[in-house]
Amino acid sequence: MSKRFLSPTTNEVQSGNEPHDGTFADRQVCYHTISRVVDRRFVFGDEERETFRMFMRMYERFTGCRVLTYCVMSNHFHLLLEVPPGPSVLSDEELLERLRCINSKAFVATVEQELMRARKEGDAEAAAEIHARFTYRMHNLGEFMKTLLQRFTRWFNRKHERTGTLWEERFKSVLVESGTASRTIAAYIDLNPVRAGMVSDPSEYRWSGYGEAVGGGKKGNGKKAREGLVRACMRHRGEGFDAERWRDVSRIYRQAMGLALGRKSSNSKIQTSMKTGVSKNTAEMLASKDNETVLPDLSMAKMLRCRVRYFTDGAVIGSKEFVNGVFADARNRFSERRTDGARRMRGSGKAAAGMLWTVRDLRLGIG
């Protein structure tokens, strides 16, 4: 593959500034994005993680992009972000409502007065220009990430009396197919604190989608986190953001993370699996006929506890048909010698070979 790789809807090629042809503009697409702190310094404490999450939710509401799950670590973060196609037209009230998510009352009031003046004068062109001033930042992966990172950097620099960039490089993004791919990537993201040895069960980590879904309330971000994970697991079946499905989906999701393991006991205390060392409440376990919990593919669960470079550097992750389809849509971005797109995963990603495919043929540093 050439040195450039596809990053649909960002209006850029990932390693350059060439415009994208808009091939994916009419699709509802999903990305795994990651960004690291410069020099990979451990600078995120509790307050920093909480503030980052606050800004993330603010820009989610403003842009119309949806965070399916996330994890904010000490020196980097992961997002599984769905970018739906934008509406052809936003009403004035819808625009103002989105602006209220990230701007002061005074700023929104000024924009509202401008719109009222344009409408009163019958100047549709002026009103359209006011809309365009803000809507280009909506339903766009690149704009979501840029504004989120810039807003957090300004806050962080003021708090710590520093200047300059906070982030190591431009964010990475991987296009993720719905179904098995999005569920697997979501589990990989939520298992970050387990891989780092910070917790034994991902539900214990506050600054992640799964931790928020389990520990949050019925409203607010707890509900939003549950909606996101329902969507991550079931979007291939047309399921929307339905928090009422969380009860069923949470079992599927724990199984994907390899947490539905262990044996039920008569006293229903919390058990620890001998195979994974993960605490598991027996009331949540998926029981098989012989009264033991089961996991269809232990190798996949083991894989998710490793760093899988394909999930951050693979550019496209999904079924063979999906990856080849993306390759065909962006054929001009690859070398002439390349005949197809799908590549098998190797190294630490080998457990997913034949189930998940990637467009990048990674050879070094894959574990």
- Residues 70 and 103 both lie in one domain: no
Is residue 302 a contact partner of residue 351, using CB atoms and an 8 Å limit?
A: yes
Same domain for 190 and 246, yes or no, is: yes
Residue 304 counted as domain residue: yes
Shared-domain flag, residues 63 and 34: yes
**Residue 49 pLDDT grade (very low, low, confident, very high; cuts 50, 70, 90):** very high
| pLDDT higher than 60, residue 68 | yes
Question: 249 with 114, same domain?
Answer: no
Q: Is the pLDDT of residue 233 over 50?
A: yes
**130 and 244 fall within a common domain:** no
Does residue 63 register a pLDDT over 60? Answer: yes
Residues 237 and 329 in one domain: yes
Cα distances from 358 to residues 194, 307, 337, in angstroms, run 25, 16, 18
Average pLDDT of the residues in 211-215: 92
Band the pLDDT of 70: cuts 50, 70, 90. Answer: very high
With beta carbons less than 8 A apart as the criterion, state whether 127 and 134 touch.
no
The answer to whether the CB of 229 falls within 8 A of the CB of 237 is no
Q: Which residues are bridge partners to 77 per DSSP?
A: 35, 72
- pLDDT score for 298: 60
For residue 269, is it within any domain? no
Q: Which residues contact 307 (CB under 8 A, 6 or more apart)?
A: 195, 348, 367
Within 10 angstroms of residue 26's Cβ, the number of other Cβ atoms is 8
What's 211's domain CATH number? Answer: 3.30.70.1290
Most confident listed range (14-28, 284-298, 308-322):
308-322
Q: Is the pLDDT of residue 24 over 70?
A: no
8 Å CB contact between 114 and 130: yes
Percent of the chain exceeding pLDDT 90 equals 54
Per-residue model confidence as pLDDT tens digits over 305-350: 888 999 999 899 999 999 999 998 888 888 888 888 899 998 888 8
Asked whether residue 206 is assigned to any structural domain, the reply reads yes
pLDDT tens-digit series, residues 171-181: 999 999 998 99
pTM for the complete prediction? 0.82
Tens digit of each residue's pLDDT (9 = 90 or more) over 248-286: 888 888 888 877 433 333 333 334 443 444 443 333 333
Tell me whether residue 244 is in a domain.
yes
Q: Domain range holding 99? A: 92-135
Asked, for residue 59, whether it belongs to a domain, the answer is yes
The answer to whether residue 2 is domain-embedded is: no
Same domain, residue pair 123 and 45: no
Looking at the structure, tell me whether residues 222 and 321 fall in a common domain: yes
pLDDT at position 297 over 90: no
Q: Return mean pLDDT, the chain.
A: 81
Q: pLDDT for 176-207, tens place per residue?
A: 999 899 999 999 999 999 999 999 889 999 99
Q: What's the pLDDT score for residue 59?
A: 96
Residue 58 lies in a domain: yes
For 242-296, give the secondary structure using H, E and C: CHHHHHHHHHHHHHHCCCCCCECCCCCCCEECCCCCCEECHHHCCECCCCEECCC
Q: Tell me which H or E stretch contains 226.
A: helix 220-234
pLDDT score of 66 more than 80: yes
Q: Is 114 inside any structural domain?
A: yes
pLDDT score recorded for residue 190: 95
Query: Could you give the number of structural domains in the chain?
Result: 2
Give helix 180-190 / helix 246-256 axis angle, nearest 10°: 80
| Co-location of 103 and 226 in the same domain | no
pLDDT at 122 over 80: yes
